[in-house]
Structure 1
Amino acid sequence: MELKDRIALARKQAGLSQEQLGEKLGVSRQAVSKWESGQNNPDVAYLAEMCRLFGVSSDWLLLGQETEEASAPARCPDCQTIVTGLDNFCPNCGCSLKSSPKEQYALVLKSILSSPEDNSVLYHICDEGVYHPAFSLPENFSLDYTHRILGNAPRVLFRGLTLDQARAIQGRFFHPKNLLVCFDPTGDTPIPRLMDQPYKPSNKQGMSFWATVGAVVLGVICALLLLSIL
């Protein structure tokens, strides 16, 4: 990635248009456009101000390098927008930057479900009243109402779920592949971001019993060898 690409990336992640960046720097939109197309390079003073505005290091913006002293820009844990140490909340999605993201999930309908079985499942889940749907339920709602819900995709069906709850609800449907379990730290994450990064089960597995025993034995042998040398 070249300087022009890093300027464009940092500007977009900061949620600024070329015109807005130009206003903050006191230059025209055309000047910013030329920087991002590689026709011209900005003066050092403008680069320094961009580092401040974008919350990035000069080493990253100028050279694309990450060092202990100058790392890549900090990003919002939810939407990945570049943020600064002065931000308490993400300026793009509102996610808190001072506290750990909540472990909550959303269940997203990614494509239309038209089967009567799935319609019945959604109706009974809503009728149970255990989970809070992301849509408002009319009084004395009917199967016809839930049918219209499943016929309108993509949309969020449920929010504020634990991972186990989201998986359990997904498993009750007859076509679970049409639904996505998505990490939803803000509790109100926009659908595009939910669908861009759906929850994916980890493929990492713990050590088996015999592998653990072997590791312990190997550790004991190494310790005995070390003691014999000393």
Structure 2
Amino acid sequence: MEWNDRLAAARKAAGLSQEQLGERLDVTRQAVSKWESGQATPDVLTAARLCEVLHISADYLLLGKNEASSGPEAYTPPDTCPCCGREVPGSICPACGYPKPEQPPRGPQYAILVSNLSWSGSQLAEEDLVRYCGFSKADAAAFVQQMKEDNYGTRLLLRRGLTDTAAQWIASHIRRQLFSIRIVEDCGESEDTLRTKASAMELPASPPKSGIGFWGVVGAVIVALLILSLF
């Protein structure tokens, strides 16, 4: 396999199009296409940046050395869940349900901010923090109490250093009727700075909850009684 073939394979393994890779390197899609077809070669600084973006070694990209251990296919998934931090013995976290990543993290990191906790939702909020964010019961109770003491207006940092998919997973599963959620880009700033940042992505759709809930049951009973009254 030639270096340009290794480049194309590494790009595809990272889930990037030629245009997306070019954007991260500040070059055109045409430049990436010429590299992968062998019509041109990147300069030294760009080659180093390529290795950083694609999570491969320069020896692998340029010389094909240690291909078995340096290529993107050698990525070893983490032993702990990126969302809740618990050990993941299989392919899916047994606690929060997040799938173990099969590719190395790429792109920017994100943080989740929450505010405006519902007065009646303290217990459910604590359950979500324990399940999806890896809080202990004591830490979840303290976090919820802090939200109450902050008069429901201050944004508190829930989690940071997340990949885009991990941030979306947490945001889609903690109950939005309990929390007001914002996802911001995490560039290593202080917590105070993170709280002032604008949203970096739209919130994902929440998965449907199982069951019809208390008011659904009440409505079903009322409908049943009305039907019976007609006979």
* TM-score (normalizing by structure 1): 0.33
Q: Which has the larger radius of gyration?
A: 1
* TM-score (normalizing by structure 2): 0.33
